[in-house]
Structure 1
Amino acid sequence: MPRFLLKNKNFITPRFLSTILNQTQFNSPRSCLISHPIKPRFLHSSAHPSEINSRKFLFLGLRADHTMASQSNQPQSIHDFTVQDVKGNDVNLGIYKGKVLLIVNVASQCGLTTSNYTELAQLYEKYKNQGLEILAFPCNQFGSQEPGTNEEIQQFACTRFKAEYPIFDKVEVNGSNTAPIYKYLKSAKGSLFGDNIKWNFAKFLVDKEGNVVDRYAPTTSPLSIEKDIKKFLEKA
Protein backbone atom coordinates (compact mmCIF):
# COMPACT_ATOMS: atom_id res chain seq x y z
CA MET A 1 0.00 0.00 0.00
CA PRO A 2 1.52 3.34 -1.00
CA ARG A 3 2.42 5.81 1.73
CA PHE A 4 2.42 9.55 1.32
CA LEU A 5 4.41 12.14 3.24
CA LEU A 6 2.39 15.15 4.21
CA LYS A 7 3.85 18.44 3.04
CA ASN A 8 3.69 21.95 4.38
CA LYS A 9 3.63 21.04 8.08
CA ASN A 10 1.13 18.20 7.74
CA PHE A 11 -1.23 20.16 5.53
CA ILE A 12 -2.49 18.78 2.22
CA THR A 13 -3.26 21.26 -0.49
CA PRO A 14 -6.20 20.59 -2.80
CA ARG A 15 -3.78 20.03 -5.71
CA PHE A 16 -1.74 17.49 -3.72
CA LEU A 17 -4.90 15.67 -2.64
CA SER A 18 -6.06 15.49 -6.22
CA THR A 19 -2.69 14.03 -7.25
CA ILE A 20 -2.94 11.33 -4.58
CA LEU A 21 -6.43 10.32 -5.66
CA ASN A 22 -5.52 10.28 -9.34
CA GLN A 23 -2.32 8.28 -8.94
CA THR A 24 -3.61 5.63 -6.56
CA GLN A 25 -5.61 2.66 -7.83
CA PHE A 26 -8.54 1.84 -5.60
CA ASN A 27 -10.69 -1.24 -5.90
CA SER A 28 -13.74 0.53 -4.54
CA PRO A 29 -14.77 3.70 -2.74
CA ARG A 30 -14.70 1.78 0.52
CA SER A 31 -11.12 0.59 0.03
CA CYS A 32 -10.20 4.19 -0.64
CA LEU A 33 -11.70 5.22 2.66
CA ILE A 34 -10.13 2.38 4.63
CA SER A 35 -6.64 2.47 3.07
CA HIS A 36 -6.22 6.24 3.04
CA PRO A 37 -8.31 7.87 5.77
CA ILE A 38 -7.25 11.40 4.85
CA LYS A 39 -9.58 13.80 6.58
CA PRO A 40 -10.69 17.03 4.87
CA ARG A 41 -9.87 19.11 7.96
CA PHE A 42 -6.17 18.89 6.97
CA LEU A 43 -6.76 20.92 3.81
CA HIS A 44 -4.56 23.97 3.57
CA SER A 45 -6.25 27.11 4.78
CA SER A 46 -5.63 28.79 1.45
CA ALA A 47 -7.95 26.39 -0.33
CA HIS A 48 -11.16 27.86 -1.68
CA PRO A 49 -14.17 27.00 0.53
CA SER A 50 -15.96 25.31 -2.37
CA GLU A 51 -12.97 22.98 -2.86
CA ILE A 52 -12.93 22.10 0.82
CA ASN A 53 -16.68 21.42 0.91
CA SER A 54 -16.63 19.26 -2.21
CA ARG A 55 -13.93 17.04 -0.71
CA LYS A 56 -15.62 17.05 2.67
CA PHE A 57 -18.86 15.78 1.18
CA LEU A 58 -16.95 13.19 -0.88
CA PHE A 59 -15.38 11.65 2.21
CA LEU A 60 -18.48 11.95 4.35
CA GLY A 61 -20.47 10.28 1.60
CA LEU A 62 -18.03 7.40 1.31
CA ARG A 63 -17.96 6.92 5.07
CA ALA A 64 -21.75 6.98 5.30
CA ASP A 65 -22.00 4.52 2.42
CA HIS A 66 -19.60 2.15 4.20
CA THR A 67 -21.52 2.40 7.48
CA MET A 68 -24.93 1.89 5.90
CA ALA A 69 -23.70 -1.10 3.89
CA SER A 70 -22.37 -2.73 7.06
CA GLN A 71 -25.64 -2.15 8.87
CA SER A 72 -27.76 -3.40 5.96
CA ASN A 73 -25.96 -6.74 6.08
CA GLN A 74 -27.10 -7.31 9.65
CA PRO A 75 -30.56 -8.77 10.30
CA GLN A 76 -32.81 -6.26 12.00
CA SER A 77 -35.48 -8.71 13.15
CA ILE A 78 -36.59 -12.34 12.99
CA HIS A 79 -38.48 -11.42 9.82
CA ASP A 80 -35.17 -11.05 7.96
CA PHE A 81 -34.41 -14.79 8.18
CA THR A 82 -35.14 -17.64 5.82
CA VAL A 83 -35.19 -21.15 7.28
CA GLN A 84 -36.05 -24.61 5.99
CA ASP A 85 -39.13 -26.59 6.86
CA VAL A 86 -39.11 -30.35 7.53
CA LYS A 87 -39.30 -31.04 3.80
CA GLY A 88 -36.33 -28.83 2.96
CA ASN A 89 -38.36 -25.94 1.52
CA ASP A 90 -37.26 -22.38 2.20
CA VAL A 91 -39.54 -20.40 4.48
CA ASN A 92 -39.13 -16.64 4.73
CA LEU A 93 -40.04 -15.68 8.27
CA GLY A 94 -41.32 -12.37 6.94
CA ILE A 95 -44.64 -14.20 6.48
CA TYR A 96 -45.06 -13.93 10.26
CA LYS A 97 -45.09 -10.14 10.37
CA GLY A 98 -47.88 -9.05 12.67
CA LYS A 99 -47.76 -12.35 14.60
CA VAL A 100 -46.44 -13.04 18.09
CA LEU A 101 -43.96 -15.93 17.91
CA LEU A 102 -42.85 -18.50 20.44
CA ILE A 103 -39.67 -20.17 19.14
CA VAL A 104 -38.68 -23.45 20.79
CA ASN A 105 -35.92 -26.03 20.26
CA VAL A 106 -37.72 -29.36 20.63
CA ALA A 107 -36.75 -33.01 21.19
CA SER A 108 -38.74 -36.25 21.11
CA GLN A 109 -36.99 -38.28 23.82
CA CYS A 110 -36.47 -35.71 26.59
CA GLY A 111 -37.90 -35.79 30.09
CA LEU A 112 -39.48 -32.42 29.26
CA THR A 113 -41.05 -33.62 26.01
CA THR A 114 -44.51 -34.66 27.18
CA SER A 115 -45.24 -31.62 29.34
CA ASN A 116 -43.89 -29.11 26.82
CA TYR A 117 -45.53 -30.58 23.73
CA THR A 118 -48.84 -30.91 25.60
CA GLU A 119 -48.82 -27.31 26.81
CA LEU A 120 -47.57 -25.91 23.50
CA ALA A 121 -50.53 -27.56 21.79
CA GLN A 122 -52.88 -26.03 24.38
CA LEU A 123 -51.43 -22.56 23.90
CA TYR A 124 -51.62 -22.81 20.15
CA GLU A 125 -55.21 -24.00 20.18
CA LYS A 126 -56.21 -21.13 22.45
CA TYR A 127 -54.36 -18.28 20.74
CA LYS A 128 -53.72 -19.24 17.11
CA ASN A 129 -56.73 -17.24 15.94
CA GLN A 130 -55.52 -14.23 17.94
CA GLY A 131 -52.13 -14.07 16.23
CA LEU A 132 -49.87 -16.58 18.00
CA GLU A 133 -47.51 -18.80 16.02
CA ILE A 134 -45.24 -21.44 17.54
CA LEU A 135 -42.08 -22.28 15.58
CA ALA A 136 -40.50 -25.59 16.59
CA PHE A 137 -36.88 -26.32 15.71
CA PRO A 138 -35.76 -29.92 16.44
CA CYS A 139 -32.26 -30.21 17.87
CA ASN A 140 -30.19 -33.29 18.71
CA GLN A 141 -27.44 -31.55 20.70
CA PHE A 142 -28.71 -32.35 24.18
CA GLY A 143 -28.29 -35.98 25.17
CA SER A 144 -28.91 -37.03 21.54
CA GLN A 145 -32.61 -36.90 22.35
CA GLU A 146 -33.78 -35.96 18.84
CA PRO A 147 -32.11 -38.66 16.68
CA GLY A 148 -34.92 -39.21 14.19
CA THR A 149 -35.36 -37.92 10.66
CA ASN A 150 -37.43 -34.83 9.97
CA GLU A 151 -40.30 -37.03 8.85
CA GLU A 152 -40.17 -39.09 12.04
CA ILE A 153 -40.02 -35.96 14.19
CA GLN A 154 -43.02 -34.42 12.47
CA GLN A 155 -45.04 -37.61 12.70
CA PHE A 156 -44.25 -37.95 16.40
CA ALA A 157 -45.26 -34.38 17.24
CA CYS A 158 -48.35 -34.27 15.07
CA THR A 159 -49.67 -37.74 15.85
CA ARG A 160 -48.94 -38.03 19.56
CA PHE A 161 -49.33 -34.41 20.60
CA LYS A 162 -51.56 -33.00 17.85
CA ALA A 163 -49.05 -30.28 17.00
CA GLU A 164 -50.61 -28.04 14.36
CA TYR A 165 -47.89 -25.40 14.41
CA PRO A 166 -44.95 -25.59 11.96
CA ILE A 167 -41.97 -27.82 12.67
CA PHE A 168 -38.77 -26.94 10.86
CA ASP A 169 -35.59 -28.64 9.75
CA LYS A 170 -33.34 -30.02 12.49
CA VAL A 171 -30.75 -27.42 13.54
CA GLU A 172 -27.86 -26.87 15.89
CA VAL A 173 -28.35 -24.15 18.47
CA ASN A 174 -24.84 -24.04 19.99
CA GLY A 175 -21.30 -24.35 18.67
CA SER A 176 -19.63 -23.57 15.35
CA ASN A 177 -22.59 -24.82 13.28
CA THR A 178 -25.23 -22.80 15.11
CA ALA A 179 -28.11 -21.93 12.79
CA PRO A 180 -28.14 -18.20 11.91
CA ILE A 181 -31.56 -17.72 13.46
CA TYR A 182 -30.27 -19.06 16.78
CA LYS A 183 -27.20 -16.87 16.64
CA TYR A 184 -29.55 -13.93 16.33
CA LEU A 185 -31.90 -15.11 19.08
CA LYS A 186 -29.05 -15.62 21.54
CA SER A 187 -27.39 -12.30 20.72
CA ALA A 188 -30.70 -10.47 21.05
CA LYS A 189 -31.57 -12.03 24.40
CA GLY A 190 -28.77 -13.42 26.52
CA SER A 191 -29.12 -15.62 29.59
CA LEU A 192 -27.99 -15.01 33.16
CA PHE A 193 -25.87 -18.14 32.81
CA GLY A 194 -24.37 -17.38 29.40
CA ASP A 195 -25.81 -17.07 25.93
CA ASN A 196 -25.73 -20.76 25.01
CA ILE A 197 -28.95 -22.76 24.99
CA LYS A 198 -28.86 -25.00 28.06
CA TRP A 199 -31.17 -27.86 27.06
CA ASN A 200 -34.20 -28.88 25.03
CA PHE A 201 -37.27 -26.62 25.08
CA ALA A 202 -35.61 -23.24 25.64
CA LYS A 203 -38.09 -20.60 24.54
CA PHE A 204 -37.89 -17.17 22.90
CA LEU A 205 -40.84 -14.79 22.68
CA VAL A 206 -40.93 -12.48 19.65
CA ASP A 207 -43.30 -9.53 19.20
CA LYS A 208 -45.30 -8.58 16.12
CA GLU A 209 -42.42 -6.50 14.72
CA GLY A 210 -39.99 -9.42 14.93
CA ASN A 211 -38.12 -8.22 18.05
CA VAL A 212 -36.99 -10.77 20.63
CA VAL A 213 -38.69 -9.59 23.81
CA ASP A 214 -38.09 -12.42 26.29
CA ARG A 215 -36.27 -15.69 26.86
CA TYR A 216 -37.27 -18.61 29.06
CA ALA A 217 -35.35 -21.57 30.49
CA PRO A 218 -36.07 -25.13 29.31
CA THR A 219 -37.78 -25.86 32.63
CA THR A 220 -40.19 -22.94 32.24
CA SER A 221 -43.53 -24.42 31.28
CA PRO A 222 -45.32 -22.95 28.23
CA LEU A 223 -48.51 -22.27 30.20
CA SER A 224 -46.58 -20.23 32.78
CA ILE A 225 -45.72 -17.64 30.10
CA GLU A 226 -49.29 -17.32 28.85
CA LYS A 227 -49.65 -13.90 30.46
CA ASP A 228 -46.63 -12.61 28.52
CA ILE A 229 -48.02 -13.97 25.27
CA LYS A 230 -51.37 -12.30 25.91
CA LYS A 231 -49.65 -8.98 26.65
CA PHE A 232 -47.93 -8.89 23.26
CA LEU A 233 -50.97 -10.22 21.41
CA GLU A 234 -53.00 -7.31 22.76
CA LYS A 235 -50.47 -4.70 21.67
CA ALA A 236 -51.44 -2.90 18.48
Structure 2
Amino acid sequence: MRWIENVERFVFGAECLGCRAPSGALDPWLCPECVKELERESTVELSPGPDTYSLYPMRPLTRRLVHALKYRGISGMATYLVKHSASVRCGLVREELSMFPKPLYFVPVPLHRARYRERGYNQAEKIAAALSLALDGKVCRWLKRRTFVVSQTKLSKEERERNVAFAFECVLKNPPTSGTVIVVDDVFTTGATTSACLAAFGRDFALPIKVCTLLYDEPASAVADFVADNQMEWEVE
Protein backbone atom coordinates (compact mmCIF):
# COMPACT_ATOMS: atom_id res chain seq x y z
CA MET A 1 0.00 0.00 0.00
CA ARG A 2 1.07 3.56 -0.70
CA TRP A 3 1.14 4.66 2.94
CA ILE A 4 3.45 1.75 3.84
CA GLU A 5 5.86 2.76 1.05
CA ASN A 6 5.86 6.35 2.35
CA VAL A 7 6.66 5.17 5.90
CA GLU A 8 9.50 2.98 4.57
CA ARG A 9 10.99 5.91 2.69
CA PHE A 10 10.78 8.07 5.84
CA VAL A 11 12.45 5.39 7.99
CA PHE A 12 15.01 3.94 5.59
CA GLY A 13 15.75 6.87 3.29
CA ALA A 14 15.58 7.37 -0.47
CA GLU A 15 14.80 4.74 -3.06
CA CYS A 16 17.52 2.74 -4.82
CA LEU A 17 17.43 3.41 -8.56
CA GLY A 18 18.30 -0.23 -9.20
CA CYS A 19 15.97 -2.40 -7.09
CA ARG A 20 13.67 0.53 -6.17
CA ALA A 21 13.70 -0.44 -2.52
CA PRO A 22 14.04 2.23 0.20
CA SER A 23 17.55 2.29 1.65
CA GLY A 24 19.56 4.40 4.04
CA ALA A 25 22.86 3.33 2.48
CA LEU A 26 22.74 4.73 -1.04
CA ASP A 27 25.95 5.83 -2.75
CA PRO A 28 23.98 8.11 -3.70
CA TRP A 29 21.81 6.17 -6.16
CA LEU A 30 22.32 2.45 -5.53
CA CYS A 31 22.09 0.24 -2.48
CA PRO A 32 25.12 -1.97 -1.66
CA GLU A 33 23.63 -5.04 -3.37
CA CYS A 34 22.93 -3.16 -6.59
CA VAL A 35 26.44 -1.69 -6.53
CA LYS A 36 27.82 -5.25 -6.41
CA GLU A 37 25.58 -6.24 -9.32
CA LEU A 38 26.69 -3.22 -11.35
CA GLU A 39 30.35 -4.05 -10.76
CA ARG A 40 29.75 -7.64 -11.84
CA GLU A 41 28.14 -6.46 -15.06
CA SER A 42 31.06 -4.11 -15.70
CA THR A 43 33.52 -7.02 -15.88
CA VAL A 44 31.86 -8.35 -19.06
CA GLU A 45 34.13 -7.49 -22.00
CA LEU A 46 31.97 -6.12 -24.81
CA SER A 47 32.97 -5.32 -28.37
CA PRO A 48 29.72 -5.16 -30.38
CA GLY A 49 31.52 -4.59 -33.68
CA PRO A 50 34.86 -3.66 -35.27
CA ASP A 51 36.55 -0.89 -33.28
CA THR A 52 33.47 -0.64 -31.05
CA TYR A 53 33.41 -0.97 -27.26
CA SER A 54 30.70 -0.85 -24.61
CA LEU A 55 31.08 -0.58 -20.84
CA TYR A 56 28.05 -2.65 -19.77
CA PRO A 57 25.55 -5.10 -21.25
CA MET A 58 21.92 -4.02 -21.34
CA ARG A 59 20.39 -5.55 -18.24
CA PRO A 60 17.42 -4.41 -16.10
CA LEU A 61 19.77 -2.58 -13.72
CA THR A 62 21.89 -0.83 -16.36
CA ARG A 63 18.78 0.02 -18.40
CA ARG A 64 17.24 1.79 -15.38
CA LEU A 65 20.42 3.77 -14.76
CA VAL A 66 20.72 4.97 -18.35
CA HIS A 67 17.00 5.78 -18.31
CA ALA A 68 17.68 7.95 -15.25
CA LEU A 69 20.52 9.67 -17.15
CA LYS A 70 18.37 10.40 -20.20
CA TYR A 71 14.89 11.01 -18.85
CA ARG A 72 15.10 11.83 -15.15
CA GLY A 73 17.63 14.64 -15.31
CA ILE A 74 20.33 12.74 -13.40
CA SER A 75 23.26 13.94 -15.52
CA GLY A 76 25.81 12.79 -12.92
CA MET A 77 24.90 9.20 -13.75
CA ALA A 78 27.28 9.36 -16.74
CA THR A 79 30.29 9.92 -14.48
CA TYR A 80 28.97 7.36 -11.99
CA LEU A 81 28.74 4.62 -14.64
CA VAL A 82 32.14 5.38 -16.13
CA LYS A 83 33.79 5.35 -12.68
CA HIS A 84 32.20 1.98 -11.86
CA SER A 85 33.29 0.38 -15.11
CA ALA A 86 35.99 -2.25 -14.70
CA SER A 87 36.56 -2.00 -18.46
CA VAL A 88 37.59 1.64 -18.06
CA ARG A 89 39.59 1.14 -14.86
CA CYS A 90 41.68 -1.85 -15.88
CA GLY A 91 39.89 -3.84 -18.59
CA LEU A 92 39.29 -3.96 -22.32
CA VAL A 93 38.52 -0.28 -22.96
CA ARG A 94 41.60 0.99 -21.11
CA GLU A 95 43.85 -1.64 -22.68
CA GLU A 96 42.62 -1.05 -26.22
CA LEU A 97 42.59 2.75 -26.05
CA SER A 98 46.08 2.80 -24.54
CA MET A 99 47.38 1.39 -27.83
CA PHE A 100 45.73 3.97 -30.08
CA PRO A 101 47.57 7.10 -31.31
CA LYS A 102 47.29 10.02 -28.88
CA PRO A 103 45.63 12.34 -28.12
CA LEU A 104 42.21 10.75 -27.77
CA TYR A 105 39.37 12.91 -29.09
CA PHE A 106 36.03 11.94 -27.56
CA VAL A 107 33.29 13.11 -29.92
CA PRO A 108 29.74 12.89 -28.51
CA VAL A 109 26.81 12.04 -30.76
CA PRO A 110 24.96 15.38 -30.94
CA LEU A 111 21.36 16.02 -29.95
CA HIS A 112 19.01 18.09 -32.04
CA ARG A 113 18.31 21.52 -30.52
CA ALA A 114 14.70 20.57 -29.76
CA ARG A 115 15.77 17.48 -27.84
CA TYR A 116 18.47 19.45 -26.04
CA ARG A 117 15.91 22.05 -24.88
CA GLU A 118 13.66 19.26 -23.66
CA ARG A 119 16.42 17.40 -21.78
CA GLY A 120 18.66 20.30 -20.71
CA TYR A 121 21.90 18.53 -21.66
CA ASN A 122 23.30 15.98 -24.09
CA GLN A 123 23.87 12.68 -22.29
CA ALA A 124 26.53 11.68 -24.83
CA GLU A 125 28.51 14.81 -23.91
CA LYS A 126 28.33 13.85 -20.23
CA ILE A 127 29.61 10.36 -21.06
CA ALA A 128 32.38 11.78 -23.28
CA ALA A 129 33.47 14.14 -20.51
CA ALA A 130 33.66 11.29 -17.99
CA LEU A 131 35.62 9.09 -20.42
CA SER A 132 38.03 11.89 -21.31
CA LEU A 133 38.75 12.50 -17.64
CA ALA A 134 39.28 8.80 -16.92
CA LEU A 135 41.39 8.13 -20.02
CA ASP A 136 43.24 11.44 -20.41
CA GLY A 137 41.52 12.69 -23.55
CA LYS A 138 39.66 15.69 -24.91
CA VAL A 139 35.96 16.31 -25.57
CA CYS A 140 35.46 17.62 -29.11
CA ARG A 141 32.08 18.70 -30.52
CA TRP A 142 32.99 17.94 -34.13
CA LEU A 143 29.59 16.63 -35.20
CA LYS A 144 26.35 18.51 -35.76
CA ARG A 145 22.89 17.03 -36.12
CA ARG A 146 21.17 18.17 -39.31
CA THR A 147 17.73 16.73 -38.71
CA PHE A 148 15.39 15.88 -35.88
CA VAL A 149 14.77 12.13 -35.90
CA VAL A 150 12.17 10.11 -34.03
CA SER A 151 13.21 7.92 -31.12
CA GLN A 152 15.07 4.78 -32.20
CA THR A 153 13.73 2.68 -29.35
CA LYS A 154 11.04 0.70 -31.19
CA LEU A 155 12.46 0.74 -34.72
CA SER A 156 13.84 -2.24 -36.64
CA LYS A 157 17.42 -2.30 -37.86
CA GLU A 158 16.39 -1.11 -41.34
CA GLU A 159 14.15 1.61 -39.90
CA ARG A 160 16.95 2.81 -37.63
CA GLU A 161 19.32 3.10 -40.57
CA ARG A 162 16.80 5.12 -42.59
CA ASN A 163 15.93 7.23 -39.56
CA VAL A 164 19.49 8.51 -39.04
CA ALA A 165 20.84 8.41 -42.61
CA PHE A 166 22.54 11.73 -43.36
CA ALA A 167 21.44 13.06 -39.95
CA PHE A 168 24.94 14.29 -39.03
CA GLU A 169 27.63 16.49 -40.50
CA CYS A 170 31.23 17.08 -39.51
CA VAL A 171 31.96 20.71 -38.60
CA LEU A 172 35.71 20.22 -38.14
CA LYS A 173 37.50 22.60 -40.52
CA ASN A 174 41.14 21.76 -39.82
CA PRO A 175 41.53 18.12 -38.72
CA PRO A 176 44.48 17.36 -36.43
CA THR A 177 47.35 15.40 -37.90
CA SER A 178 47.58 12.83 -35.10
CA GLY A 179 45.41 11.12 -32.53
CA THR A 180 42.32 8.93 -32.44
CA VAL A 181 38.64 9.88 -32.62
CA ILE A 182 36.23 8.02 -30.34
CA VAL A 183 32.55 8.60 -31.13
CA VAL A 184 30.57 8.38 -27.88
CA ASP A 185 26.91 7.45 -27.39
CA ASP A 186 24.74 5.99 -24.63
CA VAL A 187 23.55 2.71 -26.20
CA PHE A 188 24.77 0.54 -29.09
CA THR A 189 21.93 -1.49 -30.59
CA THR A 190 22.23 -1.94 -34.35
CA GLY A 191 25.03 0.57 -34.83
CA ALA A 192 22.88 2.76 -37.10
CA THR A 193 23.52 6.00 -35.22
CA THR A 194 27.26 5.59 -34.78
CA SER A 195 27.62 4.39 -38.39
CA ALA A 196 25.90 7.58 -39.55
CA CYS A 197 28.35 9.57 -37.40
CA LEU A 198 31.33 7.75 -38.90
CA ALA A 199 29.98 8.43 -42.39
CA ALA A 200 29.81 12.14 -41.57
CA PHE A 201 33.60 12.22 -41.18
CA GLY A 202 33.97 10.92 -44.74
CA ARG A 203 36.09 8.20 -46.25
CA ASP A 204 39.15 10.44 -46.55
CA PHE A 205 39.29 11.38 -42.86
CA ALA A 206 42.91 10.84 -41.83
CA LEU A 207 42.56 9.75 -38.20
CA PRO A 208 41.40 6.34 -36.95
CA ILE A 209 37.84 6.38 -35.61
CA LYS A 210 36.48 4.14 -32.83
CA VAL A 211 33.15 3.93 -30.99
CA CYS A 212 32.45 3.70 -27.26
CA THR A 213 29.04 3.46 -25.62
CA LEU A 214 27.78 2.93 -22.09
CA LEU A 215 25.55 -0.04 -22.96
CA TYR A 216 25.37 -2.77 -25.55
CA ASP A 217 21.83 -3.89 -26.26
CA GLU A 218 22.62 -7.48 -27.19
CA PRO A 219 20.59 -9.46 -29.76
CA ALA A 220 17.61 -11.33 -28.30
CA SER A 221 19.34 -14.68 -28.77
CA ALA A 222 22.29 -13.61 -26.62
CA VAL A 223 19.98 -12.39 -23.87
CA ALA A 224 18.06 -15.69 -23.96
CA ASP A 225 21.33 -17.61 -23.60
CA PHE A 226 22.30 -15.40 -20.65
CA VAL A 227 18.98 -16.10 -18.91
CA ALA A 228 19.27 -19.84 -19.59
CA ASP A 229 22.83 -19.97 -18.27
CA ASN A 230 21.84 -18.21 -15.06
CA GLN A 231 18.82 -20.45 -14.63
CA MET A 232 21.06 -23.53 -15.03
CA GLU A 233 23.54 -22.21 -12.44
CA TRP A 234 20.64 -21.54 -10.07
CA GLU A 235 19.30 -25.08 -10.48
CA VAL A 236 22.74 -26.64 -9.95
CA GLU A 237 23.22 -24.71 -6.74
Is the TM-score greater than 0.5? no
Higher strand fraction: Structure 1 or Structure 2? Answer: 2
Pick the structure with greater CA Rg: 1
